[in-house]
Amino acid sequence: MKIKVGIVGATGYTGLELLRILNNHPHVEVTYLSSKSFTGKNLNEVYPFELDEKVLEDVEIQKLENCDVLFTALPAGVSYELVKDLKNTKVIDLGADFRFDDPSLYEKHYGKKLSGYEACERTYGLTELNRDKIKNARFVGNPGCYPTAVLLALAPLAKSGAIGTSEIFVDAKSGVSGAGRKQDESYSFCELSENLKPYSPVNHRHVPEIEEKLETLFKKKINVVFAPHLVPMNRGILCTIYLKTSLSIEEIHRMYREFYQDEFFVHVLPIGTYPTTKWCLGTNHVFISLTKDERTDTLIVMSALDNLMKGASGQAVQNMNVMFCFEEQTALKFKAVYP
């Protein structure tokens, strides 16, 4: 018996990545694909490499209801209004609509008020931290790619209660696919090639998401200074995080190894080994490394992941596996594409 899966927004980067993963999943049948831009076309007309003749359909509520689980990869505010009244279909949203506990944060940073948001029971889909809640969820808000990298990098410290700091600095770098498909000259080849540039170093939309979840983990208000940069590569994220601590690097490393010892997708590297984005390319794996500047008592935590996999579609399928009691690693045991 296979579950019926639908994808709304199937022709964006995250939608295509979902199809790549689900094509290897033994327990699903993709029965519905929707694309506003290419309605009526076959998928292989738009992307011949897909080798799939499924018709890209318009959005119809009855067809959404016929899915056991629906993945939505849509602009902010669109997914919520589309799926909030579905009766039986489980929803995993790869946008921001279901990520926040506090609706005022969404309204402030995305400029939209979602009607009935307080009454909609939703679960934040960072699998390693919310597995039990995800298992019984109807609506899952898949985390952003940067928040996934930051929160997994800091969760062991937060859970331990051993860090007294209230301010954390994050230097983050992402491949261009993290911005989605855009017809914008600032994302053209000539603008990006042989170039490295910061963007939204103040008031980035991911900051309130990171701070809200860190407050839940740390049990206190945490201020995050977040500086993202665009790197001329297709995919991958590397975060370097700085915070003060009096703990030794050996104590912290032991804490991380114990915290993630049973996690298949999260790898704590030996002290002195630092992650690269190539190790994650095309996979759902996350690599975390730790070092300490003893002179300034500064802990440096580094995390690397593929923004389209663990940062989006891979984590979404991981959440689906948890929701339907499949083995969590099903269809996600990809090894990195290297070099």
Are 249 and 268 spatial neighbours (Cβ–Cβ below 8 Å)?
Answer: no
Eight-class DSSP state of 12: S
d(CA 83, CA 17) in angstroms, rounded, equals 21
CB atoms within 10 A of CB 308: 25
Nearest to 149 by CA among 219, 235, 80, 73: 235
Rg for the chain, CA atoms, rounded: 20
Are 22 and 331 spatial neighbours (Cβ–Cβ below 8 Å)?
Answer: yes
Active-site residue among 145, 190, 239, 280? Answer: 145
What is the bridge-based pairing of β-strands 298-305 and 286-293? antiparallel
Eight-class DSSP state of 187: G
Nearest to 237 by CA among 151, 327, 298: 151
| H or E element, residue 139 | strand 139-141
Active site residue 145: yes
Task: Kindly list the catalytic residues.
Answer: 145
